[in-house]
Amino acid sequence: MGALEIIVKNQGLSDYLPIWRAMQNFTKSRDENSTDELWIVEHNPVYTLGRNGKQEHILNETKIPIVKVDRGGQVTYHGPGQLVIYLLLDLQRRHLGVRQLVTLIENTIINLLAEYNLEAKSDKKAPGVYIDGKKIAALGLRVSKGKTTHGLSLNINMNLAPFKNINPCGYENLEVIQCKDLGVEDNIQVIGDKLAKLLVKQLCFLRLPKSQKVRRESRSESQ
């Protein structure tokens, strides 16, 4: 397997903590020969608060757990029906900077939504992807010694009500939207596969000979 190839794993529906721990363990144990991975996940309901996140952005206490994590950014919500893709990459090996990676992820989501005739945009002042000023995708990354953990979330067909209990990503009165309400009929599995393929193309195929292939692994349980 080539050094710049990517393994795509479908982790299914999982609690947040086991996946987070698995990301940390993967990154701690990897070396210069380790293959990069993308993990496609759905999470059971959880709020995550970035390492510099402010508690004031959590507006109401609920039964949904709040997990303080090591990514950047403020508070966000994950739940069933939301596509999450974690990017476990060696940026140094790919000659990518953090800003380049953020732009690549945002543009890839924008291109995916364009396939559904949705005009989405990024915002230099607020990472993520927006349609008419409403947030449809969020980004949160951690980079340590050139290795990335965490990634992106894209709202597909979920219960959006829990977002009302927070200032999403630290922004007051920010409206959150999802693909289903904008006429997208494809389910989360189809959209997840499409987005993963587009990310791999941007991260890998543009730099490698066309003969290189992506190895795929699927599993229904978390690591």
Tell me: pLDDT of 65 over 60. yes
Tens digit of each residue's pLDDT (9 = 90 or more) over 113-162? 999 999 999 998 899 999 999 999 999 999 999 999 999 999 999 999 99
Compute the C-alpha angle 106/107/108, nearest 5°.
90
Eight-state DSSP code of residue 204:
I
Tell me if 210 is assigned to some domain. Answer: yes
DSSP assigned state of 89: -
CATH code, domain carrying 67? 3.30.930.10
- Mean per-residue pLDDT, 191-215: 72
Active site residue 179: no
Total tally of structural domains belonging to the chain:
1
* pLDDT above 60: residue 169: yes
The torsion angle over the Cα atoms of residues 45, 51, 52 and 55, rounded to 10 degrees, is 40
Q: Is residue 41 part of a domain?
A: yes
Q: What is the mean pLDDT of residues 80-107?
A: 95
Residue 19: predicted pLDDT: 98
* This model's pTM is above 0.85: yes
From the list 141, 169, 188, 191, the catalytic residue is: 169
Q: Taking all residues of the chain, what is their mean pLDDT, rounded to a whole number? A: 90
Q: What is the spatial distance between Cα 98 and Cα 39, in angstroms, rounded to a whole number? A: 19
User: What's the confidence (pLDDT) of residue 4?
Assistant: 79
Q: Is residue 198 part of a domain?
A: yes
Q: What percent of the chain has pLDDT over 70?
A: 90
Per-residue pLDDT averaged across 21-40, rounded? 96
Reported as a pLDDT band with limits 50, 70 and 90, residue 196 is very high
How many other β-carbons are positioned within 10 Å of the β-carbon of residue 148?
23
pLDDT of residue 212: 41
Give a yes or no: residue 223 inside a domain.
Answer: no
Task: Supply the angle between the helices 188-200 and 98-114 in degrees, to the nearest 10.
Answer: 130
Confidence band, pLDDT 50/70/90 cuts, at residue 205: low
Residue 1: inside a domain: no
**Residues spanned by the domain of 197:** 6-218
75: in domain: yes
114 inside domain: yes
* 3 band by pLDDT with thresholds 50, 70 and 90: low
Whether residue 39 is predicted with pLDDT greater than 90 in this model: the reply is: yes
